[in-house]
Amino acid sequence: MPPPLVLASTSRYRRELLARLRLPFACEKPGVDEDAVKQALGEPLAIVRELARTKALAVAVRHPGAVVIGGDQGAAIDGALLDKPGDATRATAQLQRLRGREHRLLTAVALAHPGGVVEWVETTRLSMRALDDDEIVRYIAAEQPFDCAGSYKIEGQGIGLFDAITGDDQTAIIGLPLLRLGRELRALGFAVP
């Protein structure tokens, strides 16, 4: 019998993705000071890696013997990390910055278990169309992507913002790369079909 599985996240997107694997799991808020990590590290890849790891380990301490999944995601452009915008003003600024350009969406995962920690980052390259201001306003009004890194929901109308997307796992764009996660969980004894 596999150990308990815990998702160290309150993200509904990650919860919905993990539910696709049809494994019983619990969700727990990691209680990590994300701003402190962002200020200390600065570089997008280092930030998402450290946050995924810190979240997984924070919850693993409270659940010895469990397998804990921590994750983090950010859109990287010009050496900066675009996080969840939180409101329409910041979402507009993010989409204006991304329009007509390619950026990277970094999705980090840390899988903490009694034998150690497995970590990886899925990188997706996205080329956004040269959106005009009216398109940005309409999109933000339609989907209100305030809780999404980069200010878009690729699984919804946000797909229409892009010319090209290159990556190995489409679920990584939504927040949890299920292809690799499934392999890692199978290796730990979980029955993932």
pLDDT value at residue 181: 97
Share of the chain above pLDDT 70, in %: 100
Q: Is the pLDDT of residue 83 over 90?
A: no
**Neighbouring residues of 172: CB distance < 8 A, sequence distance ≥ 6:** 105, 107, 122, 124
pLDDT value at residue 152: 94
Q: What is the DSSP letter of 130?
A: -
Distance CA 11, CA 71 (A): 10
Q: Which two tokens stand for residue 104?
A: 């990277």
Q: What is the pLDDT of residues 9-39, one digit of tens each?
A: 999 999 999 999 999 999 999 999 988 998 8
- Mean pLDDT, the chain, integer: 95
Provide DSSP, 19-55.
HTT----EE------HHHHHHHH-SHHHHHHHHHHHH
Residue 72 contacts residue 52 (beta carbons within 8 Å): yes
**78 is known as an active-site residue:** no
Q: What is the pLDDT of residues 149-189, one digit of tens each?
A: 899 998 899 999 999 999 999 999 999 999 999 999 999 99
pTM for this predicted structure: 0.91
pLDDT value at residue 52: 97
Cα distances from 37 to residues 33, 52, 136, 163, in angstroms, run 7, 11, 30, 33
Catalogue all structural domains in the chain, each as residue range(s) with its CATH number.
Answer: 5-187 (3.90.950.10)
From the candidates 33, 35, 72, 134, give the one annotated as an active-site residue.
72
Distance CA 124, CA 107 (A): 8
Q: What is the pLDDT of residues 43-74, one digit of tens each?
A: 999 999 999 999 999 999 999 999 999 999 99
Q: Is the pLDDT of residue 103 over 90?
A: yes
Q: Is the pLDDT of residue 42 over 90?
A: no
| Kind plus residue range of the DSSP H or E element containing 131 | none
pLDDT value at residue 1: 78
Residue 92 contacts residue 82 (beta carbons within 8 Å): no
Helices (H) and strands (E) in the chain, counts: 7, 7
pLDDT value at residue 20: 96
> CA torsion 82→83→84→87, rounded to 10°?
-50
Which is nearest to 79 in space by CA: 56, 112, 58, 103? Answer: 103
Q: How, if at all, do strands 102-113 and 80-82 pair?
A: unpaired
46 sits in the region (left: phi over 0; alpha: psi -120 to 50; else beta) called: alpha
